[in-house]
A and B are shown apart, each in its own frame.
Chain A
Amino acid sequence: MLKIEHLIKVYEDGTRALDDVSFTVQDGEFLVIIGLSGSGKSTLLRCINRLVEPTSGRILWDGTDITAASLDELRRIRRQIGMIFQQFNLVKRSSVLTNVLSGRLGYVSSWRSLIGQFSREDMQRARRNLERVGIADKANNRADALSGGQQQRVGIARALMQEPRLMLADEPVASLDPSTSHSVLQYLEALNKQDGVTIMCSLHFLSLARAYGTRIIALKDGKLVFEGLPAEIDEDRFKQIYGEDAVRVEIL
């Protein structure tokens, strides 16, 4: 169980990205975070694994306060939290396999990773995860030789190497076309349903949020403005989250 308590993030330039956000995520949920660009979705996700340091507030994961963790503890916590990104964040010039293996670094000692020596099990694990996302044949290609959807699948395979209990997905399909978006989200859904991995995923499109989310939270200007089931978002709620001028765009 992940419990966010009064989370505030103020950037150095004074931007108040998160303003007293509190909510709880149960294990096994597929939580979708919606909101306009700049509403604080990315900051919220990055606060959870402390890629962004929160200004104040607490993040409790099974009773452990992530915000108070020491560097060593933090690394152990991060190991269990996978993350995928809008821009995939692969090392473009490295091979797909190397990119996937790098997801295992949290479990490997410094000197072994220095000489690039991964154990046989890790190699097998990497192959398995590539198979799982359907690109085992691309293992030796350079990452930037793959299409966007394939690159995001490499991103998922990399996160799977951590054997995560929680998966953070920051706009994972914002750079992809509609059909590829669905295929990527279906991999996340399978992960959620088959492996019981808790998913926190930020999305632009409400239709996608409704299709995949078991629960939805909405952010507006850093504040939590909605928390509930997908079906509860009616026209009024929609206007409240996206503003009066917003028009619904469906992605099928």
Chain B
Amino acid sequence: MNRKKNPLLAGLLSLFVPGLGQAYLGDRRLGTTFLTAVVVIGGLLVWKNARLLLFVLLAFWLLGAWDAYRRAQGGKTRLAIPFLLAAFLVYAVAWQTTEIAPMKLVKGVGDIKPLVTDILWPIPAAFTRSEVVETARDVMQVPCSDTPPSAEPQPEGKPQIHVSSNCAAIGERITLTGTGFRPNWPGEVWWENPIGQQFFVRQGGQYLRFRTDAQGSFQIETQIPLAVPEDMRNRPQIHHIEVRVHWPEGPWRASQTLELTIAKILETIFLALMATTFGIIVAFPISFLAARNLMSFSPVSLSIYYTTRAILNITRSIEPLIWAIIFVVWVGLGPFAGTMALAVHTIAALGKVFSESIEGIDTGPIEAITATGANRLQTIIYAVVPQIIPPYIAWSVYRWDINVRMSTIIGMVGGGGIGFLLIQWIRLLRYEDAGVAVWAIAIVVSILDYSSSKIRERLV
């Protein structure tokens, strides 16, 4: 039948609009394919502005015209290779756009090592002991005045320090000697300026530390730091120099990190519990409206079924993270926003699986109870509900498990729970603390996962 068509016209049509010639010859699918290819290549050309693409576009355009011309004559052109090349081109652009660089995976291995080790072994951040601190201090006038201060009296029988001079200019070196400290232990040198601000003295970029000898004595040289605003540097003022030796002692106990983590993981569990509970309460009645086998008895009920299904599907397609952002704006930061976000998603998700369990029930009892003269409500209560209780419980437990996992993410946008801590610690590069949170999540999720699968096993 192609013979009746004019080859020249077909070719011209395809030259005018790609694919039109093929459509004119009756092969609409091939026409659409040509048009799509040209549009895609054209789109890439506009976006990437690469000259190579212009040639490919022109080549395809002409190929389409040639193909239409040949086709009208009853012949055929080989199209597989050009189309494969076009597909290859799309992949090339995609590769470039997503910045795929496999070598980075190799090069970056060193960078993730501290992160991975901190996260895998966060025990140092989880537990702590109380610190015993030995200090000794002395005055320091900077710069020297006509009447330099005398050394502060050092308490008897306690650690003592002695400075080579109680006054010095900024940048001048002084010698610090100490006695009576804990033997063979590291110590730190601190500076306190006239208004009481303390800081760890640095020398050449390093914190100034020392180590006591077997008798608990040490000697160290230090430079006078600039510890006042620039315009006050020439006015003699009284500073203090302080030496600290400290070590942990006593029993191990939970660190603040661990305490916070436990508090927040409990919040997460309760958040998930509330979200799941609200979800079940709302999803339960809705599921009856979304069950086709219960709702197909009249056009009105059928339209309720379709509406309910549509609302459930739309709600479910919106990620909990988006819901969390909406509710954070709506009710403010905190666990309530997270609860609402997860509750909404749970309603949609449970509404679907609940109604599907209704659709999957044995219809025999419904028939039998209807035949006894029971009304619709009675039939549902006696023939449907006993059949759906086990799957409902199983799905609800499973959902709680999912909600705990999701609430860790919800926290990242301010919806409460442990996610907030996790994202905060990661941003502060406190990977050990983040590791504590990650472990807490992993432990809770795996316990819930295990118990929910056990419960489901028993019920389904």
Residues of A within 8 A of B (CB): 49, 51, 75-79, 81-83, 85, 87-94, 98, 102-108, 110, 113-114, 155, 158-159, 161-162, 168
Contacts and interface: CB of A to CB of B under 8 A. Distances in A.
Contacts of A78: 370-373
18 contacts: A51-B371, A78-B370, A79-B373, A81-B371, A83-B368, A89-B362, A91-B365, A91-B386, A92-B362, A93-B386, A93-B387, A93-B389, A93-B390, A98-B382, A105-B374, A105-B378, A113-B377, A113-B382
B378 A89 contact: no
A102 B372 contact: yes
Given A102-B382, A113-B378, A114-B377, A162 B372 contact: yes
Interface in B375-421: 375, 377-379, 381-383, 386-387, 389-390
Nearest to B369: A102
Nearest to B389: A93
For chain B, give the interface size range.
20 to 34
Nearest to B371: A83
B362 A51 contact: no
B364 A89 contact: yes
A114 B387 contact: no
A76 B368 contact: no
A229 B379 CA distance: 39
A75 B368 CA distance: 13
Nearest to B379: A105
A85 B379 CA distance: 17
Contacts of A159: 372
Given A78-B373, A102-B383, 20 more contacts: A49-B371, A75-B374, A76-B373, A77-B373, A82-B372, A85-B368, A88-B364, A89-B362, A90-B365, A90-B368, A93-B386, A98-B382, A102-B382, A105-B374, A106-B374, A107-B373, A110-B377, A113-B381, A114-B381, A158-B372
A105 B378 CA distance: 7
B204 to A, nearest CB: 79
Contacts, number: 87
A83 B364 CA distance: 12
Contacts of A94: 382, 386
Contacts of B259: none
A83 B371 CA distance: 7
Given A91-B382, A91-B383, A93-B387, A106 B372 contact: yes
B390 A102 contact: no
A104 B374 CA distance: 8
Contacts of B367: 51, 85, 89
Q: From DSSP, what is the main secondary structure of chain B's interface residues?
A: helix
Interface of B: 362, 364-365, 367-375, 377-379, 381-383, 386-387, 389-390
Contacts of A91: 365, 382-383, 386-387
Contacts of B373: 75-79, 105-107, 162
A89 B374 contact: no
Given A110-B377, A114-B377, A89 B372 contact: no
A234 B68 CA distance: 75
Contacts of A107: 373
Contacts of A102: 369, 372, 374, 382-383
Nearest to A101: B382
Contacts of B362: 89, 92
Contacts of A108: 378
A242 B381 CA distance: 42
Contacts of A75: 373-375
A168 B367 CA distance: 13
Given A93-B386, A113-B382, A114-B377, A105 B372 contact: yes
A202 B387 CA distance: 28
Given A93-B386, A93-B390, A51 B370 contact: yes
B366 to A, nearest CB: 8
A94 B389 CA distance: 11
Contacts of B390: 93
Contacts of B379: 105
Nearest to A74: B373
Contacts of B365: 89-91
B321 to A, nearest CB: 38
Contacts of B387: 91-93
A46 to B, nearest CB: 8
B374 A158 contact: no
Contacts of A114: 377, 381
A79 B386 CA distance: 22
Contacts of A93: 386-387, 389-390
Nearest to B362: A92
B386 to A, nearest CB: 5
Contacts of B371: 49, 51, 78, 81-83, 168
A87 to B, nearest CB: 5
A159 B374 CA distance: 12
* 3 nearest A-B residue pairs (beta carbon): A106-B373, A89-B364, A105-B374
